[in-house]
């Protein structure tokens, strides 16, 4: 876990360095088991293609969770995130190969609020596509 971020050490406009989150088919199967979402578009290539998708796609909530993980890793405390929301803007296509896909998440401190809280704007991309939009987290810092 990262060191706890201090409110007094954070500035508006401060960038949070990007982190990569690999996604392979096995991750999607494990997520399906944990979430109960066994929709075959997330694990069955033949089915995904018959419904018009390019290949198996990651669960939207899996993608959202990776961006949430980015914020909690930065803050150093999973309980520090007091509000979090995103819109899904593109799919994370996960090919059945040794590489899978990679979700790259970065952030910027957009605003400092009262009570040692900050708003973090997040960018999540896979390849050249932005997969989350309007992604924001309110984080309680120490």
Render pLDDT for 89-113 as a digit per residue (tens, 0 to 9): 999 999 999 999 999 999 999 999 9
Distance from C-alpha of 38 to C-alpha of 22, rounded to nearest angstrom: 20
Any idea where the domains of the chain sit in the sequence? 7-140
Cβ burial, residue 54 (10 Å; 0-12/13-18/19+): exposed
**Would you state the structure tokens that stand for residue 133, as one six-digit string?**
């939009």
Distance from C-alpha of 19 to C-alpha of 62, rounded to nearest angstrom: 16
The reported pLDDT for the residue numbered 41 is 98
The model's pLDDT over 14-64, given as tens digits with 9 standing for 90+, comes to 999 999 999 999 999 999 999 999 999 999 999 999 999 999 999 999 999
DSSP secondary structure letters along 70-132: HHHHHHT-GGGEEEEEEEE-S--B--SSSS-EEEEEEEEEEEE-STTEEEEEEEEEETTEEEE
Reduced to 3 states, what is the DSSP secondary structure of residue 55?
coil
**Predicted TM-score of the model (pTM):** 0.94
Cα Dmax for the chain: 53
Q: How confident is the model at residue 1 (pLDDT cuts 50, 70, 90)?
A: very low
Distance from C-alpha of 29 to C-alpha of 35, rounded to nearest angstrom: 10
One CATH from 3.40.50.720, 3.10.129.10, 3.40.50.300, 3.30.365.10 for 7-140: 3.10.129.10
Q: Beta 15-23 vs 81-88: how paired, if at all?
A: unpaired
């Amino acid at each position: 876990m990262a060191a706890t971020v201090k409110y007094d050490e954070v500035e508006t406009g401060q960038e949070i360095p990007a982190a990569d989150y690999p996604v392979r088919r096995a991750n999607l199967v494990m997520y399906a088991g944990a979430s109960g979402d066994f929709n075959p578009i997330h694990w069955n290539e033949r089915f995904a293609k018959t419904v018009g998708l390019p290949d198996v796609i990651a669960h939207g909530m899996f993608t959202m969770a990776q961006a949430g993980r980015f914020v909690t890793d930065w803050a150093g405390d999973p309980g520090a995130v007091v509000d979090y929301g995103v819109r899904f803007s593109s799919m994370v296509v996960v090919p059945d190969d040794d590489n899978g896909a990679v979700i790259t998440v970065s952030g910027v401190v957009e605003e400092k609020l009262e009570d040692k809280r900050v708003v973090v704007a997040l960018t999540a991309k896979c390849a050249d596509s932005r997969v989350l939009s309007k992604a924001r987290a309110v984080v309680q810092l120490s």
